[in-house]
Amino acid sequence: MEVLARLGVETVVVSPGSRSTPLTVAAARNPKLEAISILDERSAGFFALGLAKRTHKPVVLVCTSGSAVVNYHPAVLEASMSGVPLLVLTADRPAELRDCCSGQTIDQMKIFGDSVRAFHEMALPEASSSMLAYLRQTLVHAVNRSLQGNAGPVHLNFPFRDPLPPEINATPIIEASLMEQAATVSTRPCEAIGTGASLDTVALERLASHRQGVIVVGAMNPREGGDAFADAVAMLSHKLGWPVLSDVLNPLRGHFGENQALICHYDTFLRKSEVAADRSPTAVLQIGQLPTSKVLRAWLEQTDSVSFLLSDRPVNTDPLHRVATPLYGEVQVLAEALHHQTVDAAWTQAWVDIEQQTVAALDSKFEAMDSLFEGKVSWLLSKHLPIGTPTFIANSMSVRYAEYFWSAGSRACPIHSNRGANGIDGTLGTALGLAHRGNSTVLLTGDLAFLHDTNALLAAAQLQGSLTVVLVNNDGGGIFEHLPVASMGQAFEQFFATPQTVQLDTLCQAYGIAHQRVQDWDSLVAAISVLPTSGVRVLEVPTDRKADKLTLGELLSSV
Asked if 3 and 136 count as a contact pair (C-beta separation under 8 A), the reply is yes
Position 174 pLDDT exceeds 70: no
Q: State percent of the chain over pLDDT 90.
A: 81
**CA 449 → CA 166, 372, 454, 493, distances in Å?**
40, 20, 9, 17
Residue 180 has a pLDDT of 61
Would the CA dihedral through 494, 498, 504, 506 be positive or negative?
A: positive
Over residues 151-180, the mean pLDDT reads: 77
- Alpha helix locations (H) across 107-171? 129-147
pLDDT tens digits, one per residue of 489-522: 889 999 999 999 999 999 999 999 999 999 999 9
Number of CB atoms found within 10 A of residue 330's CB: 21
Mean pLDDT of 143-154: 94
Name the strand (E) or helix (H) holding 374: helix 374-384
Let me know the angle formed at the C-alpha of 107 by 105 and 108, rounded to the nearest 5 degrees.
100
Identify whether 414 is preceded by a cis peptide bond (ω within 30 of 0). no
Q: Going by CATH, does the domain composed of 369-558 fall within 3.40.50.970?
A: yes
User: What angle do the packed helices 41-55 and 73-82 form, to 10 degrees?
Assistant: 20
Element (H, E) at 90: strand 86-92
On the question of a common fold for 2-183 and 201-354, the answer reads yes
Q: What is the pLDDT of residue 183?
A: 57
- Collapsed DSSP state (helix, strand, coil) of residue 268: helix
- Alpha-carbon torsion (302, 307, 312, 314), positive or negative: positive
Determine which of 91-95, 98-102, 154-158, 410-414 has the lowest per-residue pLDDT on average. Answer: 98-102
What's the pLDDT at 521?
98
Peptide bond into 163 cis (omega under 30): yes
* Amino acid 185: pLDDT: 57
Which residues are 120's β-sheet partners? 156
Say what the pLDDT of residue 187 is: 46
68-82, 194-208, 279-293: which has the minimum mean pLDDT?
194-208
Asked whether the beta carbons of 364 and 348 are under 8 A apart, the reply is no
Q: 416-467 pLDDT, tens per residue? A: 999 999 999 999 999 999 999 999 999 999 999 999 999 999 999 999 999 9
- Name beta bridge partners: 92: 159
385: amino acid identity, one letter: L
pLDDT band at 323 (very low <50, low <70, confident <90, very high): confident
User: Where exactly are the structural domains of the chain?
Assistant: 2-183, 201-354, 369-558
- Over residues 477-491, the pLDDT tens digits come to 989 998 899 988 889
pTM of the complete model beyond 0.85:
yes
In terms of DSSP bridges, do strands 306-311 and 213-217 run parallel, antiparallel, or are they unpaired? Answer: unpaired
Using pLDDT thresholds of 50, 70 and 90, give the confidence band for residue 558: confident
Torsion angles phi and psi, residue 330, rounded to 5 = -90, 150
Listing DSSP states for 164-205 in one string gives -SPPTTPPP---HHHHHHHHTS--PPS-PPP--B---HHHHH
Pairing of strands 324-328, 306-311: parallel
Phi, psi of 42 (to 5 degrees): -65, -45
Residue 319 CB-density burial (10 A; 0-12 exposed, 13-18 middle, 19+ buried): exposed
Give the dihedral of Cα atoms 298, 382, 215, 269; nearest 10 deg. Answer: 40
Those residues whose C-beta lies under 8 Å from the C-beta of residue 225, and which sit 6 or more positions away, are 251
Domain 201-354: which CATH class?
alpha beta
The answer to whether 232 and 323 have CB atoms below 8 angstroms apart is no
Q: Is the confidence at residue 99, as pLDDT, over 90?
A: no
Could you say which of 1.20.120.10, 3.40.50.970, 3.60.15.10, 3.40.50.2300 is the CATH number of the domain covering 2-183? Answer: 3.40.50.970
Q: How many CB atoms lie within 10 A of CB 31?
A: 6
Average pLDDT in the chain? 92
